[in-house]
């Protein structure tokens, strides 16, 4: 591992681990955890020395035992990737050690007992079968002698996976954090280190819930632990892209102080249960959005393909076009068509925030009376994952409705909750 001391032409001095060197600039990791990029043309003096790193080629299991033991389950994503500065493309890190070596604080704080990397994919490629595969390994890691488990995951579909694990892992006994990064770990502005450290703090907490742990603001002050069923990626690029939906985050984490502040006291506590996997999910479920001019025959398309469930992202409180003027745009007849064939319909709202309600307007009451299940305050992605889970267990309408509207993992919130965003 290389250590660099740099003096710039305007007399500033920087030193830290050498992260990357290109023909244009050099990136070093400062003591405060930030990476900084300096243009070669601005450098007056550069001294590099080879130093022995306690973080390189770590034999995890041989570290002397500490109190804070965690395991890592890595599945891919930006946090495991690295920019190729020649092509601009992003590549996977060959070794997780490369990443960990860049977070010195991490190994001062926790012992990493196990690392499992079942696959390494971009999260847009994550499939329901991957959720099950992750779940299997997670159960194994949770039954081991660790305080918690950190899952590394791409951010694009992290909230789908966090919802899925919340439903399929039963008897959860310890904290499970899912984290990732919005910028690859060798970029000056990478959020990888901050998030990884925050996850380790969460893993050593008292909260036995599946949580997405990511930056709480755009600066390095605190991270949020968002409940796995109530979180969504709400920005393409910001570090604080993840937001709790219709709920407050579980906790606020200050990674540099190793401090966690509980926000929602109503959480599942660390316990001595034995977690296990309930992997029965139905993959014949679709998620469809309505909009002005949308084609209701799309319902028929899925029903005729033998789909068991359809989650609709309606408008407002949960409405669909009911046009009486131009029947070809009316969704009602097609929903009837599906219901007559046993398809389960769940209604959510494309507003993302807020609770659905079939009782305010007659157009929605009509759907409700037909048998459409209104998803309370579940946002569309969580409703989609939950319907897959429920239909994996029963296809009987009454049982589906009952199970779907029963709180399994904090996905159905208090009726009084009315906050918009995390404005803290």
Point out the residues that are catalytic. 78, 155-156, 233
What are the DSSP calls for 80-110, one per residue?
A: GEEE-TTT--EEE-S-HHHHHTT-HHHHHH-
- Choose between 99 and 200: whose C-beta lies nearer to a copy of itself: 99
Selected from 8, 273, 315, 394, the binder of a copy of itself by CB under 8 A is 315
Distance between CA atoms of 373 and 285, rounded to whole angstroms? 14
Smallest distance, a copy of itself to C-beta of residue 386, A: 13
**Choice between 197 and 248, CB closer to a copy of itself:** 248
Distances (CA, A) of 76 to 72, 202, 374: 12, 20, 35
* Alpha-carbon span 192 to 201, nearest angstrom: 14
89/342 with CB nearer a copy of itself: 89
Q: Which is nearer to a copy of itself, 123 or 198 (CB)?
A: 123
Binding mask 347-386 for a copy of itself (x = CB under 8 A): --x-xxxxxxx-xxxxx-----------------x--x--
CB nearer to a copy of itself: pick between 15 and 333: 333
Applying CB under 8 A, among 35, 123, 162, 382 the residue interacting with a copy of itself is 123
Biggest alpha carbon–alpha carbon distance for the chain: 77
Among 323, 395, 397, 405, binds a copy of itself (CB under 8 A): 323
Shortest reach from residue 128's CB to a copy of itself, in Å:
5
Helix (H) or strand (E) holding 344: strand 344-349
Least Cα distance to 158 among 215, 207, 200 occurs for: 215
Question: What part of residues 275-304 is at the interface with a copy of itself (CB under 8 A)?
Answer: 283, 285-295, 298, 301
Which stretch of DSSP H or E encloses residue 243? strand 242-244
Residue among 279, 316, 336, 366 that touches a copy of itself (CB under 8 A): 316
**Piece of 12-20, 43-51, 311-319, 400-408 that binds a copy of itself (CB under 8 A):** 311-319
Per rule CB under 8 A, count of chain residues that contact a copy of itself: 76
Q: Give the Cα separation of 301 and 242 in Å (integer).
A: 33
Residue 207 is given by DSSP the state: B
220 or 240: whose CB is closer to a copy of itself?
240
Question: Two tokens at 333?
Answer: 């007849």
CB of 378 to a copy of itself, least distance (A): 12
Interacting residues of 80 by C-beta distance below 8 A, sequence separation 6+: 74, 92, 93, 96, 99, 120, 152, 185
Q: Are 185 and 102 in contact (CB under 8 A)?
A: yes
* Using rule CB under 8 A, residue 418 touches a copy of itself: yes
- In the region spanning residues 124 to 163, those forming contacts with a copy of itself, defined by CB under 8 A, are 124-131, 155-157, 160-161
């Amino acid at each position: 591992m290389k250590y660099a001391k740099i003096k710039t032409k305007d007399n500033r001095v920087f030193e830290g681990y050498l992260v990357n060197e290109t023909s244009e600039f050099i990136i070093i990791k400062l003591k405060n955890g930030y990476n900084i990029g300096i243009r070669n043309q601005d450098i007056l003096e550069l001294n590099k020395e080879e130093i022995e790193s306690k973080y390189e080629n770590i034999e995890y299991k041989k570290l002397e035992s500490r109190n804070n033991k965690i395991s890592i389950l890595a599945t891919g994503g930006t946090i495991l990737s690295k920019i190729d500065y020649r092509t601009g493309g992003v590549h996977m890190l060959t070794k997780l050690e490369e990443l960990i070596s860049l977070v010195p604080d991490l190994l001062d704080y926790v012992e990493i007992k196990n690392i499992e990397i079942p696959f390494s994919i971009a999260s847009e490629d994550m499939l329901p079968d991957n959720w099950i595969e992750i779940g299997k390994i997670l159960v194994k890691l949770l039954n081991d002698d660790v305080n918690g488990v950190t899952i590394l995951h791409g951010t694009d579909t992290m909230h789908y996976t966090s919802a899925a694990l919340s439903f399929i892992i039963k008897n959860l006994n310890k904290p499970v954090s899912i984290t990732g990064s919005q910028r690859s770990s060798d970029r000056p502005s990478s959020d990888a280190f901050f998030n990884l450290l925050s996850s380790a703090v969460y893993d050593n907490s008292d909260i036995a819930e599946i949580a997405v742990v990511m930056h709480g603001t755009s600066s390095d002050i605190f991270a949020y632990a968002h409940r796995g069923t109530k979180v969504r990626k709400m920005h393409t690029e910001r570090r604080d892209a993840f937001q709790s939906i219709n709920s407050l985050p579980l906790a606020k984490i200050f990674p540099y102080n190793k401090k966690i502040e509980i926000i929602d006291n109503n959480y599942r506590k660390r316990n001595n249960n034995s977690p296990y996997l309930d992997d029965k999910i139905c993959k014949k479920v679709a998620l469809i959005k309505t909009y002005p001019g949308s084609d209701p025959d799309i319902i028929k398309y899925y029903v005729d393909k033998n789909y068991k469930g359809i989650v609709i992202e309606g408008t407002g409180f949960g409405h669909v076009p009911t046009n009486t003027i131009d029947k070809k745009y009316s969704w009602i007849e097609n929903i009837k068509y599906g219901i007559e064939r046993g398809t389960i319909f769940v209604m959510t709202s494309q507003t993302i925030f807020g609770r659905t309600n079939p009782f305010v307007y007659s157009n929605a009451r009509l759907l409700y009376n037909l048998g459409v299940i209104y998803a309370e305050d579940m946002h569309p992605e969580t409703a989609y994952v939950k319907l897959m889970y429920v239909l994996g267990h029963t296809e009987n309408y009454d049982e589906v409705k009952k199970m779907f509207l029963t709180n399994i993992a904090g996905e159905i919130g208090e009726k009084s909750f009315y906050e918009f965003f995390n404005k803290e």
